[in-house]
Amino acid sequence: MLSDKVWIIIPAHNEEKNIGRVLQELLNLTPNIVVVNDASTDKTREVVSNFSVYLLDHLINRGQGAALQTGTEFALGQNAEIVVHFDADGQMQVKDIAKVIAPILNNEAEIVFGSRFLDGASKIPWTKKYFILLPAKLFNWVFTGVRLTDAHCGFRALAQKAGQKIEIRQDGMAHATEILDQVRLHNLRYKEIPVEIIYHEYGQSFGKGFKILFDLIIGRLTKK
């Protein structure tokens, strides 16, 4: 069991297939689970209602970044001391959560990123590794000045302080880069921890990558 100060945030958009299994496993670990149902059109909501978790509903689909921010704000409102961002698709391993929050508990970092590359635990399709993740990694480094081994697999843990300081304004997938930007802005101590990601699907395709780039550029232009 995890400390009751740890909260798990799961953004979910049309995840009826996998989310039940993920919640089942997570409930063995903690009751502090927040599912942000991002206007799913399938049975995600029904599936989640069967579990004793906190269910928040976005009336209109706003994207993963928006859902994470909603969940994080809710958890902080419940006095969470550590907030973990976890996926609903079952690709992340529940056993890795303890590893990812450890640096925060040991006061080594205020934000921890899961990395698919650190120890080679994850088997990543090679086209994805070299043609999507490598450019994304370099882009993040140039764009945000934060150098990580992995662009962002979406698995991260935030100490309360980081959760309060970081405000995700990128509603879509560009939030992952935006978070790095804010890590540097607020001088947060960060650390990477190897995690295992088991691929069912390919995830972000090349075309979506360009959508992320576009969002980031617009974000820069319109930033106050």
Partner 1 sequence: MLIKIILIIFIVYAVSRVALRYKDKTISLQEFVLWTLFWFLVGFLVLFPETTSYVANLVGVGRGVDLVVYLAVLILFYLVFRTLVRLDKTEKDITKIVRQVALKEGNSIKKTAAEEKKE
Residue 22 vs 66, nearer CB to partner 1: 66
Interaction of residue 62 with partner 1, rule CB under 8 A: yes
- The Cα–Cα gap between 45 and 67 comes to 14
Interaction of residue 52 with partner 1, rule CB under 8 A: yes
DSSP state of 107: T
Q: How far is the CB of 172 from partner 1 (least distance, A)?
A: 10
For residue 185, what are the CA distances in angstroms to 3, 79, 111, 146, 167? 29, 24, 13, 10, 11
Using the rule CB under 8 A, which residue among 5, 14, 45, 55 binds partner 1? 55
Structure tokens at 129: 């590794």
**Residue 207, CA atoms < 13 Å, CB-side half-sphere:** 1
Please list every residue from 164 through 223 that binds partner 1, using CB under 8 A.
169, 171, 218-219, 221-222
Residue 70 vs 140, nearer CB to partner 1: 70
Q: Which stretch binds partner 1 (CB under 8 A): 9-17, 52-60, 179-187, 194-202?
A: 52-60
Give φ, ψ of 22 to 5 degrees.
-65, -45
- The Cα–Cα gap between 28 and 17 comes to 20
Binding site for partner 1 (CB under 8 A): 31, 34, 36, 52-60, 62, 66, 69-70, 73-74, 77-78, 169, 171, 218-219, 221-222
